Amino acid sequence: NRVTRITAQDTTPTKTKTSKEKTTSVASAKTEAKKPKATKPKRQRRGPFSAIRNYFAGAWYELRMVRWPDRATTWKMSGALLGFIAVFSATLLLLDAAFKYLFQIILGR
């Protein structure tokens, strides 16, 4: 696998294609497309559980690449999550109580 480096140039192309040259290049592209295709090699049959095995092998490979946090960071993130849940739950409870009170006033009960 060879890496080709492309550099930007400040110069503009000196010659643009004419319409005749464009049609010629389109015609040559069409003739290239009509070339017979190479036959694909047949896929080998695999066992029925190979797809499942490959899935778990790929998942395990991805898990090994994960950079797991240390214990202190885990506790900090867990605390932040529990704090957010507490604040969000309190907000929902207050809104529910406010709407319940509002509807009781509107309905006159």
Question: Does 90 map to a domain?
Answer: yes
Rg (CA), the chain: 33
Question: Does 37 map to a domain?
Answer: no
Question: Does 109 map to a domain?
Answer: yes
Mean pLDDT computed over every residue of the chain = 82
Tens of pLDDT, residues 28-71: 655 555 665 667 777 666 777 888 999 999 999 999 999 989 99
Number of separate domains in the chain? 1
Instruction: Specify the pTM.
Output: 0.43
Structure tokens at 23: 């049609």
What residue numbers bound the domain in which 106 lies?
73-109
Question: Does 5 map to a domain?
Answer: no
CA distances from 28 to 17, 37, 85, 93 (A): 15, 17, 65, 72
Q: Which residue has the higher pLDDT, 34 or 87?
A: 87
Question: Does 13 map to a domain?
Answer: no
Question: Does 91 map to a domain?
Answer: yes
